[in-house]
Structure 1
């Protein structure tokens, strides 16, 4: 038995979490059937169910968010670690006998799979994922090893990696690809790069987040200085005890939706010359300037820490107070003011007062520290310790 060399039918499967997908799908040709995957179901199962009812399929296009060796399809993240568990579904996509699926004869016209998603074929693991998907489905597979989407954000629509010759044209018109405003973000690196590039552009941008992202130690996102809409798709962003989103966009509007933010830490600056430390505000979201809209965003396990108060410049003097806590009672932050710095030697000397909601520092031999006010429900940092009398 031989493949049908006259396969013509094409299907485009679209993960519904892709932002503005309608602007792309409306430009597909008449030979391509568009299927929107339900966001509350396993996407691999949905694709298998649909393909079971189709014949003579020349190509399958998949528009989804991606990461190295990973695709997000409905509630499922298909990756190199779990692809074997989906073997029974993947082998039925084109209903090909094993001998045909593994055939290398030139008379065999294999179906093709085109994956539109960021970095799916990036890294050795990504290439291995593409190859295994090809083996299980019996199709030639093409995928991208970099950002997919808007060129100004560093993306393109070139599928750089393939398991064989791909003859199927891209599903979307050149005009639609050029006009698409986002990139399909799923990792810290792509999110960071997307923010940097969006900041460089005057127009509003949309950055979709797909998959659960966890930042490693030292990974800090850039300040947001331009109008950006972040759509979370129900996923979570764990800042890994690093600074959270820092919005400094003046009059530009920034919005976040359908996202869980966790593990963010914001720390106020250290005071100088006896001045108080800056308030630590926001935890996962620090708004320095600009209008910010938050819709269906969950804040969990973040902290805001006040900065240390400055040392007293002359004696006798008072060390600066610890920074105040902020937002306690509004969001579930763990709020704590930072400690005041040590006062300079003097007679008498006074320990710096605590941050709002905190405790005072110990005074030197002259005068003891001031009592904390205990406001906002947070724990302020201790005031600085007064210097020893002379």
Structure 2
């Protein structure tokens, strides 16, 4: 459910947020109004809520639901909105909203929902996007320009990191599609004490320990360039190679991984590294050379980095079966006798 919070009931809302269904939202009078939407997947989003300048209406997005749908639900019964402020994670050309991403590739697919946004906005309305790097580069600027055309609003968006200065962030929305008159929705005090930044993490993978059938669990090391968000980060992957799961190996959770399946794992909130274990099956059979390849796949809430595929390196000089009583090389998986 979408949660509504106004500054008038902030004290009560700090402990319990009041849920508001679309049926309970009534049309608002046609007057200049300012809405602030804050994604609860942001680290320490409570500081942002508490720091909103009085006079703004504040809504919260549930982190594990489609944020595009939630915002559309919020705006469907609204009118006369002069400024819309959206605090969420971002990357160049992408706005992460709850469990969904709005980007240049899917803007037209969401045209009907964006028309609802447009209908709720006043003439000459403004949208301020606080997500990190949303307007960075040609891709980011094209995304913001297209969103402006579809919503009919002038848009200001960040072209670099947003948030804490010590982590490289600031509170300047560098790119604008028109003349922006709205001020930032946060007090200076809130901007000063907020310790986080608002980027989407970029994920890479590297091979670690090579597995052996007896006694050695293999590992892949997953690295994020910013911490996993509140609630954790689900990363998708595709296994390949001549070794197969579960006949030859299985996956298990290593450090900072809270759960794992055959095609995805969840990195714990706040973590920047994690370990995915590969547990070989000790079947007592001397196998031919086998490979195990892990390829990260696209998903919500993260970007793929420059290194998204890793595999366990085969021995450079495999030992033929029967010539060495101590070990038999079986490609990427080695069995000790």
SS in 1 for 2:111: helix
Task: Kindly indicate whether residue 116 of structure 2 is the aligned counterpart of residue 92 of structure 1.
Answer: yes
In structure 2, the partner of 1:155 is 169
Matched, 1:71 2:95: yes
1:370 aligned to 2:313? no
Structure 2 partner of 1:194: none
Question: Is 1:233–1:259's contact at 8 Å kept on the other side of the alignment?
Answer: no
Q: Which runs of 5+ in 2 are unaligned?
A: 1-29, 208-220, 240-254, 281-309
The C-alpha deviation readout for 1:3-41, integer Å capped at 9, x for no partner, is: xxx953111111121110111110112211111112333
| CA–CA distance in structure 2, aligned partners of residues 62 and 258 of structure 1 | 30
Name which structure has the greater RCO, CA cutoff 8 Å, separation 6+.
2
CA distance in 1, matches of 2:187, 2:141: 27
Q: How does 1:233-244 map to 2 (within 5 A)?
A: 233-237=231-235
Deviation digits for residues 134-172 of structure 1 (CA, Å, limit 9, x no counterpart): 111111111011111111111111100011111111111
| 8 Å Cα contact 1:28/1:173 also seen in 2 | yes
1:33 is matched with 57
1:83 to 97, 101, 107: 107
> What's the CA shift string for 1:351-390, capped at 9, x where partnerless?
xxxxxxxxx9579xxxx6332499xxx933789xxxxxxx
Change in CA separation of 1:21 and 1:152 when aligned onto 2, cut-off 3 Å: same
Report the number of matched residues: 247
Native 8 Å contact 1:71 1:77 kept in 2: yes
Structure 2 residue 152 is matched with structure 1 residue 138:
yes
Cα distance change, pair 294–49 in 1 and its aligned pair in 2 (3 A): closer
TM-score between both structures, scaled by the size of structure 1: 0.52
Which structure's CA Rg is the greater one?
A: 1
| Alpha-carbon spacing, 1:125–1:90, altered in 2? closer, same or farther (3 Å) | same
The root-mean-square deviation of aligned C-alpha atoms, in Å, is 4.7
Q: How far apart are the structure 1 equivalents of 2:193 and 2:133?
A: 21
Partner residue of 2:129? 115
Q: 1:258 to 1:114 in 2, by over 3 A?
A: farther
The alpha-carbon distance between structure 1 residues 184 and 259, as it changes in their structure 2 partners (threshold 3 A), is: farther
The secondary structure found in structure 2 opposite 1:145 is coil
Structure 2 match to 1:165: 179
Q: Could you tell me the TM-score, scaled by structure 2's length?
A: 0.59
Match runs of 1:318-357 below 5 Å: 339=315
Give the number of the structure whose residues are more often strand, by fraction.
2
1:186 pairs with one of 197, 200, 208? 200
